[in-house]
Structure 1
Amino acid sequence: MVERAEEISVLTQALTDAECGEGGVVLVNSGPGVGRTALLNAFLRQAAESGARVCAATGASAETGIEFGVVTQLFPSDGPLTAGLRLARATGGRDGALPEADRHWEELCREFRRGPVVLAVDDVQFADTASLRFLLYLVRRLRTAPVLIVLTEPTGSDTLPPACQAELLRHPRCRRLGLRPLSPDGVTRMIAPHVPESEAPRLAAEFHAVSGGNPLLLGGLLADHRAARRHGPHGVADRPADGAAFAHAALAWAYRGDPVLFDVACGFAVLGRKAGPALVACLVDRGADAVARVMTALDSAGLLDGTAFRSDHVGRALLERVDVKTRGDLHQRAARLLHGDGARPADVAHHLLAAPVDTPWALHTLLAAAEQAVRDGRQEFGLDCLRLAGRYAATGEDRAALLTARVRIGWEIDPRLIGPWLDELGTAVKEGHLGGADAAGAVRHLAWQDRFEEAADCLTVLAGRTGGDTEAHPELHVVRQWLRHTCPTLNAAVAVTGTPPAPGTAPRPRRLSPASYAVDMLGRTLSDGPVDHAVATAEEILRGCRFEETAVDVLEAALLVLAYGERPDRALHHCDALLARAGDRPTGTAAAILSAVRAEISLRQGAVQDAERYAHQALAAISRPGWGVAVGSPLAALVRAATVSGPTDVAGACLNQDVPEGMFRTRHGLLYLYARGHYHLAVDRPAAALEDFLICGGLAREWGMDVPTFLPWRTSAAQAQLALGNGSQARTLAREQLARPGGGSPRCRGVSLRVLAATSDLTRRSALLHESVSLLESCGDHVELLHSLAAHSQVLHELGAPAKARMAARHARTVTEDCGADGLFRRLFKEDVRDDADEPTGLADDPPGPASLTAAERRVTALAALGHSNREISRKLFITKSTVEQHLTRVYRKLGVRNRADLGDLLAGVNLTAQNQQMSRTSLAAAG
């Protein structure tokens, strides 16, 4: 009896007063399931133990017609107080009825005086009329009798008649006790003896949130939890309201013989969060006052949160026990009521799915509900609405509306879902059943799924209908612009026909939209390079767009304008803000495309770990078939990131996956070829890399996308040419890139200068590489910066500046830690750069043998070969003895020798180059 001490105290005091000859009445009321019966039973046990005589009865709805049914339970014919039954029958509950009534009353009083008596009636509201009259007869005579009458009744609709309550409450020693649900602390105390101490606080919070402190429901929750623990650590314990005991408890309070309570409770269960007194009254055909009384009872029991059940599980348990026909009728009536009240389509659709209604508005309600559900992330519910909507599509217009909704919603969830409808979609466009944005979207869907011929046919049909006037038909203009920068071959294959406007005719106005602006700006950026106006427009679009309300192609185009316009920092800001709205585990086409864009932005900043993570996120957001020809973008980002960050076998595995053939006719295919070329470079296949880069460049030129800020294929091809020993071709490509629109941007210029340095003489390399490093630091591309730092470090070694070379190498290590390009660092440097090392160990592509030695290593080697000790070498070269030892260790490894004697023999038999001989002489001269 948790949190019932005060009530027990009141009852105990009332019994004490009765023992002193001051009879009284206690009326206990509560909402369903709060525990008035449990309180009464506990008190009666206590009273019996104290020596009081207890006479108890229970009212029941099935026995309300049995005369003196309750009195018979209180005063059985074989009991010591049988005079009470005779008195009741003699008086009929009325004063002065029969002459023998006084004799029976005196007989009953003698029995009362033998010790205190407790007369208890549970659920007194179900007592028969005769029994109620007799109870009131006794109440009127309790002033001097040692009798305590305890009655319980529910709060709400089915209570004692007002006249009975009034007479009871007029009694000077009548007390009313109202029981309330348990507090959170009370719930903790209730369950503490039955659960591990460490789990009690968490479970108490969960149980209170579901039950509202209702003891009956709490008992069900606790029973389910304990049953689950017996079967293992998981199960119902993690879902506190899914067990059988809880469902039974939910039923127990509703089936109390009160039809009003049950009907109204079912009404609340059906309507859920949309429940309200007026709506429930209409649904269950009960009066508003009756509904209000039931709401009071449910609220006092802790079952309501506002005007709805605190837990949906309570309503579900009730409805599962209602027969199918009644439940279906309730849902159908709820659907009509909500639709008539202008409720949200999703709220109406919930009831249509439970019990379909043949009404003219059902189709459009289901379609609207499906679209809203997908935007809210309730994909399964949206698909269920679409399936049911097919039942209502009777006319051609209805079927066209259903088709477009299926395609639009399927696309938002996963483009793979619209595959079964693509044939029907193309036919609908050609036959004129679809127009405007729906028809234009069909072209895009067909192209996305590598069905270019069908997309071209649809585009031709649409162009013919509009007479080629895309300015007057914005949907066609947007899709053609999208094709221009996504599937340029398809766009070029469909000629724009029509009659040109007559000379002097004013141009027709075109409705502007974010989609129109975004695709126009992306097309301009891909053809002309970074343009300030395009970047500003993209920022304006992104500031005014919302993730849930804007088509993802608009967001993608605006973000790519910023990325290709050399503003990856702003693209990163807006993309992260958009993805934040998608949640921690984003799914769906919009989240997939935005994640792929985020991966590409990360690559442009040299953040390879982020690029890899977002590329994986993009590929997981929708199915692989759903990506269609666009799969090239996330795969390209993943391949490039994996190539830089670690072992190249991960990138190779990505490239071994099947991709649509049509992908290579799209912008996504260019990114894929570019990434594959860099993979070939990393695994020492420069010829294959050069082929990929040249094909990529040829297509970019053909499609009007030859801008270095989008795809710097020339400098990548130049790197392949350098690996093949073709320095002059590499230099030509680098100079061409510098001359292209956007080639002078910091990132593009920094890479071009590094290539030019590799083809220049030693005296010019340092200056070129110094500028390259500065430019790449300013734009924040860590990967390209790492390449330039490695090249600069090597040049500084060759120029005899080991301290500066060491600083560049250490800077490279810091950059590597920032961007996670460990694999690239290991390829550029033979081993990690340590803070206590005199200089880096050299580059990975240095030739073996004496020629692979750095300047510092050559100086140490020359002195060691002449027989000088490590201490002598350190003193002559002004370096530490430890540094000498480290140099010699690396020299031994590079030259394949084991000691100084082998070193002297090797160098004596090697025909050193003039540079090595001069270096030896210089070292000897420096040694004195």
Structure 2
Amino acid sequence: MAPDDRRQDAALLMELLEEAKAGRGRIAMVTGAVATGKSELLHDFAEQALRHGALPLSATGSLAERDLPLGVLSQLVRNTPADEHRAATLDLLREGARAHLSRAPGAESFAHVDAQIVDALCTVLLKLSERRPLAIVVDDVQHADRASQLCLSYLARRVRYARVMLVLSGPDHHAHPHPLLRTEVERQPHCRPVRLAHLAEEGVAERVRQREGAQAADRFAARCHELSGGNRLLADAALEDLRATGEPGEKYADAVLACLQRADPDLLPVARALAVMGEPGAAGRLLGRGEAATARAVQALAGAGLLAGGRFRHEAAASAVLAGLDTSELIDLHRRAAELTYQEGAPAAVVAGHLLRATHAGDPWALSVLEEAAKQALRDDGVESAIEYLKLAWQACDDERRRARITTTLVRARWRIDPGTQTGQLAELTEALHQGHLGGGDAIVLARALLWHGHVADAKDVLGCLGDGGELDREAVAELDATRAWLRSSWPAFLPHLPEPPAEQAGGAARSLGADRRLVSADALASTLSEGPQEELVTVAERILRGSRLDEMSMDAVECALLTLIYSDRADRAAPWCDVFVSEAADRHAPSRQARLSAIRAEISLRRGDLAAAARDAQRALELVSPESWGVAVGAPLGILLMAGAGMGRHLDYLRQAAQPVPEAMLETRFAAQYLYGKGRFALMSGQPRQALRDLRLCGELTCAWGLDVPEFVPWRLDAAEALIRLGEVDEARGLIETQLAGCGKRSKRVHGMALRLLAAASEVRHRVMLLRRAADLLRAGGDRYEHARALFDLTEAYHAIGEHRRAGMLSGRAGALAQECHAGGLIRDPARARRNGQVNGQVNGQVNGRLNGHAGGQSPEAALSEAEQRVAALAADGYSNREISGKLFITVSTVEQHLTRIYRKLNVSRRRDLPAGLAGRSL
């Protein structure tokens, strides 16, 4: 309805009233769906009629009073003036009511309303109109009692030449296929139909604008129309909810119920069935109604603005319709819906949804449906739904073997969200295993879950039962192979407790693609940790990552492949893969996987020298899944968090994590090495070298005992050596450093550079500069900016120690900038270094940064130089003398001097110390 249509309707009624006042009686039949404004229009008309000299007589039909004889007519008569006719009229009403009540059971009302009484009542009204024009207004006439409807139809035939305006309102014709008055009234030549419609979108916008202003109309009008279809009641309620919360809520739900209460009672069952089934055809079949009857009801509901395309406009509407049902009624409705959808071959998720709402799975077919629905939900990342399906199946299942299988699936589903919620199910599965109800593959999954939580004795017991169980099926053998590979890298001390498959099955079982990837990936990680990086293993890891999607069985494969890259010094190549899988885990609503991948992302950031990112991701890993739920694996994110916190100089912020208790069983796992290394680094940076040494030596003992002593994993010897240097045990420290250098050779630039930095600290002053230059060069190439910054700070101090203050000054700015980039507050705020270098560094940094920031046009310094000049300028900025530059570049000293003259002129500087800081580091 356009905004001005209502004014046109009101004007039409007033025109008819004027004709009636002139003695040409008129009838208006006002129709429309629920909340199209019929009552409002009739009320306004009655007010206008009074102001224009007519006597308004108003009545409203009510479903609750439908059996009250002559109730509506009584409302009209009681509004007439108190004169000599009124007492007689009331007597007629009472007589008519008595006649109605005396009718025989089952007889029609009309047969027991005396025609003379009807005539007398109508005559009273007609005589009254001779003295003053009447405006007789009856709202919701479809709910009027039958006797009153008979009187109104009688009156309609007699007002054509009377001063009477009769206005009746009712619903659309299609909602009431057999109306009592419509045929009789609408066929009268003096009757005019007035059809009301819902508001169009511009009408809703105008309504919102009038109530809340133009800004609210711009924000909410389109959404209000979408939720209401122009129904005024729904639109107003939607507006209130949208302004309060941004979504349809309580007000909207109440308005939906109000619309249904004012509509035909026969529509409510259809609305409820539609809320349960979702589409009209199924709703009709659920109620056992014919297609025609259902279609009429759906059309009426759509006309009321409740439906769009045969469905409720919002879930809040469907929920409101069902909220009025008793629990038993709602359960019965969903139970019948489950049977119907199953018989009609609906998808498992649809049938299972009804079973859930009915809290019933007692039918023979129900368990299979719930298991299939859970399987599909897990595949489509609906973990919460899968858990609910499995819980209901578990409650309904009385077959012990099948129940154990359901419990295993439930454990796996819950593991995706939080591994710490499995305690009860693990105990149940252990009992099922002892009773012979748990298969081999599921038993191995159970053992791994027990190990995760540190229940070592229980895991041994489970595997002992498995070893005594005879032949294993193909799935169990594949699971056993993958678990053995996983134990090699994660829990090597537990390997002897894993049963061996029968000789004829060992190594010969056919495996699925997923199981094969898990095995290959775990083997790659185990080999990397025991033998060191190998290019072919890097290739294997990347191939696995390229072919993996983060489903239920691939998480272990993805995790092992990423760690293989990290421990092969390929953190830069692991980073983009990890980011992809972190995003996928978030999309798939799998907090447990997000946490494990966040811990890996934290380790990548740590090895690339981004301390803030490492701390953030490690903290996120511990928030997504609580430390208790991390089980023995908590050592990985906790160790990374402590290392990052120490590097940032935020020891006080992470004291709680440093003192956090960890499972005792963790000391038998790879995660203990990561935790002890992080804890040792934290103690070392906190000024507790003896405590650090204890943790680092224990870390070394464990990794050596397990055969995982590769420096690319945890170079514990280097941090132990640093602790010894701080304790004055330089000779012992040098021995550890040399052992580490011999162990890693030159395959790891990162570890090699770290070792050379510490070797410099354990060497004579005159040798330190050379060692630290090499260390800085290696660490820059290795991609660890934090360790690179440490080397540059040490190199700065080494230059000071030999009196090369100018070179020290040149490097200090670069070291500070790199430390800031890494968020390495622990390096920047080192008090001893500040005392040694503060004054010189401050002067030099101010001059160098001033030159760089003030460079003409914002252009980078090297852009103005030739390639040869850039090489000379970089070495000069790093503090090399002309002769040293000559030797490094194989040119004469004179050529160096000529290059420098041109460099100074192009960069507008007069001396070496004024060269821009951006050139420093290019020579390393």
Fold in common (TM above 0.5) = yes
CA–CA distance in structure 1, aligned partners of residues 491 and 118 of structure 2? 104
The alpha-carbon distance between structure 1 residues 111 and 333, as it changes in their structure 2 partners (threshold 3 A), is same
Question: Which stretch shows the higher mean deviation, 322-331 or 120-129?
Answer: 120-129
TM-fit CA distance, 1:658: 1.1
TM-fit CA distance, 1:686: 2.8
In structure 2, what is the equivalent of residue 847 of structure 1? none
Over aligned residues, Cα RMSD in angstroms? 4.5
CA–CA distance in structure 2, aligned partners of residues 215 and 592 of structure 1? 49
| Equivalent residues of 1:766, 1:795 under 8 A apart | yes
In structure 1, what is the equivalent of residue 195 of structure 2? 177
In structure 1, what is the equivalent of residue 399 of structure 2? 395
| Equivalent residues of 1:715, 1:755 under 8 A apart | yes
TM-fit CA distance, 1:795: 2.0
The alpha-carbon distance between structure 1 residues 10 and 800, as it changes in their structure 2 partners (threshold 3 A), is same
CA–CA distance in structure 2, aligned partners of residues 185 and 644 of structure 1? 64
For residues 603-659 of structure 1, what are the alpha-carbon distances to aligned partners after superposition, in whole Å with 9 as ceiling and x for unaligned? 111111111122221112223321111111111111111111123233433121111
Runs of 5+ consecutive residues of structure 2 not aligned to the other structure = 97-108, 847-878, 880-908, 914-924
Match of residue 262, structure 1, among 261, 268, 274? 268
Runs of 5+ consecutive residues of structure 1 not aligned to the other structure = 226-235, 842-855, 857-878, 884-928
Please state whether the residue corresponding to 1:473 is helix, strand or coil.
Answer: helix
CA–CA distance in structure 2, aligned partners of residues 68 and 160 of structure 1? 24
Please state whether the residue corresponding to 1:792 is helix, strand or coil.
Answer: helix
In structure 1, what is the equivalent of residue 604 of structure 2? 601
CA–CA distance in structure 2, aligned partners of residues 72 and 733 of structure 1? 108
Match status 1:482 vs 2:469 = no
Given residue 410 of structure 1, which amino acid in structure 2 is its aligned partner? R
| Equivalent residues of 2:205, 2:217 under 8 A apart | no
Match status 1:695 vs 2:713 = no
For residues 6-41 of structure 1, what are the alpha-carbon distances to aligned partners after superposition, in whole Å with 9 as ceiling and x for unaligned? 223223234214424676554433333443222322
TM-fit CA distance, 1:571: 2.5
Given residue 641 of structure 1, which amino acid in structure 2 is its aligned partner? A
Given residue 179 of structure 1, which amino acid in structure 2 is its aligned partner? A
Given residue 599 of structure 1, which amino acid in structure 2 is its aligned partner? A
Given residue 325 of structure 1, which amino acid in structure 2 is its aligned partner? S
CA–CA distance in structure 2, aligned partners of residues 14 and 125 of structure 1? 20
Match of residue 633, structure 2, among 627, 630, 633? 630
The alpha-carbon distance between structure 1 residues 809 and 187, as it changes in their structure 2 partners (threshold 3 A), is same
CA–CA distance in structure 2, aligned partners of residues 246 and 838 of structure 1? 69
Structure 1 residues 334-483: aligned runs within 5 Å: 334-357=337-360, 358-367=362-371, 385-463=389-467, 465=469, 473-483=477-487
Please state whether the residue corresponding to 2:444 is helix, strand or coil.
Answer: helix
The alpha-carbon distance between structure 1 residues 65 and 450, as it changes in their structure 2 partners (threshold 3 A), is closer
Match of residue 32, structure 1, among 31, 34, 52? 34
Please state whether the residue corresponding to 2:660 is helix, strand or coil.
Answer: coil
TM-fit CA distance, 1:169: 6.1
Structure 1 residues 778-927: aligned runs within 5 Å: 778-827=781-830, 829-830=833-834, 837-839=842-844
| Equivalent residues of 2:679, 2:692 under 8 A apart | yes
CA–CA distance in structure 1, aligned partners of residues 306 and 711 of structure 2? 65
Structure 1 residues 446-845: aligned runs within 5 Å: 446-463=450-467, 465=469, 473-494=477-498, 496=500, 498-499=502-503, 507=508, 509-513=510-514, 514-547=517-550, 549-583=552-586, 588-740=591-743, 744-762=747-765, 764-827=767-830, 829-830=833-834, 837-839=842-844
Given residue 254 of structure 1, which amino acid in structure 2 is its aligned partner? L
TM-fit CA distance, 1:424: 2.9
TM-score, length-scaled by structure 2: 0.77
The alpha-carbon distance between structure 1 residues 164 and 673, as it changes in their structure 2 partners (threshold 3 A), is same
TM-fit CA distance, 1:327: 2.3
TM-fit CA distance, 1:675: 0.7
CA–CA distance in structure 1, aligned partners of residues 168 and 478 of structure 2? 77
Given residue 421 of structure 2, which amino acid in structure 1 is its aligned partner? L
CA–CA distance in structure 2, aligned partners of residues 774 and 53 of structure 1? 103
The alpha-carbon distance between structure 1 residues 356 and 147, as it changes in their structure 2 partners (threshold 3 A), is same
CA–CA distance in structure 1, aligned partners of residues 640 and 723 of structure 2? 20
| Equivalent residues of 2:779, 2:788 under 8 A apart | yes
In structure 2, what is the equivalent of residue 56 of structure 1? 58
Match status 1:325 vs 2:291 = no
| Equivalent residues of 1:450, 1:628 under 8 A apart | yes
TM-fit CA distance, 1:820: 1.4
| Equivalent residues of 1:373, 1:381 under 8 A apart | yes
CA–CA distance in structure 2, aligned partners of residues 104 and 704 of structure 1? 108
Aligned residue pairs: how many?
821
For residues 792-836 of structure 1, what are the alpha-carbon distances to aligned partners after superposition, in whole Å with 9 as ceiling and x for unaligned? 212232344434322322122222222211123323732797998
The alpha-carbon distance between structure 1 residues 126 and 419, as it changes in their structure 2 partners (threshold 3 A), is same
Please state whether the residue corresponding to 2:834 is helix, strand or coil.
Answer: coil
Question: Which stretch shows the higher mean deviation, 475-484 or 247-256?
Answer: 247-256
TM-fit CA distance, 1:141: 7.4
CA–CA distance in structure 1, aligned partners of residues 529 and 286 of structure 2? 60
CA–CA distance in structure 1, aligned partners of residues 486 and 807 of structure 2? 50
CA–CA distance in structure 2, aligned partners of residues 468 and 255 of structure 1? 65
Please state whether the residue corresponding to 1:121 is helix, strand or coil.
Answer: strand
| Equivalent residues of 1:59, 1:124 under 8 A apart | yes
In structure 2, what is the equivalent of residue 253 of structure 1? 259
Question: Which stretch shows the higher mean deviation, 666-675 or 721-730?
Answer: 721-730
CA–CA distance in structure 2, aligned partners of residues 101 and 61 of structure 1? 22
In structure 2, what is the equivalent of residue 16 of structure 1? 15
The alpha-carbon distance between structure 1 residues 108 and 205, as it changes in their structure 2 partners (threshold 3 A), is closer
The alpha-carbon distance between structure 1 residues 628 and 130, as it changes in their structure 2 partners (threshold 3 A), is same
The alpha-carbon distance between structure 1 residues 770 and 430, as it changes in their structure 2 partners (threshold 3 A), is farther
CA–CA distance in structure 2, aligned partners of residues 535 and 704 of structure 1? 20
Match status 1:124 vs 2:141 = yes
Please state whether the residue corresponding to 1:120 is helix, strand or coil.
Answer: strand
CA–CA distance in structure 2, aligned partners of residues 143 and 466 of structure 1? 100
| Equivalent residues of 1:54, 1:118 under 8 A apart | yes
| Equivalent residues of 1:772, 1:788 under 8 A apart | yes
| Equivalent residues of 1:429, 1:442 under 8 A apart | no
Question: Which stretch shows the higher mean deviation, 631-640 or 122-131?
Answer: 122-131
TM-fit CA distance, 1:590: 1.6
CA–CA distance in structure 1, aligned partners of residues 473 and 370 of structure 2? 36
The alpha-carbon distance between structure 1 residues 196 and 104, as it changes in their structure 2 partners (threshold 3 A), is closer
For residues 507-542 of structure 1, what are the alpha-carbon distances to aligned partners after superposition, in whole Å with 9 as ceiling and x for unaligned? 554433232332232223223333334333333433
TM-fit CA distance, 1:587: 6.7
Please state whether the residue corresponding to 1:152 is helix, strand or coil.
Answer: strand
TM-fit CA distance, 1:670: 0.7
CA–CA distance in structure 2, aligned partners of residues 421 and 99 of structure 1? 81
TM-fit CA distance, 1:783: 1.5
TM-fit CA distance, 1:450: 0.9
| Equivalent residues of 1:737, 1:743 under 8 A apart | no
TM-fit CA distance, 1:672: 0.5
| Equivalent residues of 1:24, 1:143 under 8 A apart | yes
For residues 36-67 of structure 1, what are the alpha-carbon distances to aligned partners after superposition, in whole Å with 9 as ceiling and x for unaligned? 22232223223332333334333334565677
Question: Which stretch shows the higher mean deviation, 309-318 or 177-186?
Answer: 177-186
TM-fit CA distance, 1:407: 1.9
TM-score, length-scaled by structure 1: 0.77
| Equivalent residues of 1:472, 1:508 under 8 A apart | no
TM-fit CA distance, 1:484: 1.5
CA–CA distance in structure 1, aligned partners of residues 280 and 473 of structure 2? 57
| Equivalent residues of 1:606, 1:784 under 8 A apart | yes
Match of residue 42, structure 1, among 18, 26, 44? 44
Given residue 568 of structure 2, which amino acid in structure 1 is its aligned partner? G
| Equivalent residues of 1:596, 1:614 under 8 A apart | yes
CA–CA distance in structure 2, aligned partners of residues 739 and 460 of structure 1? 42
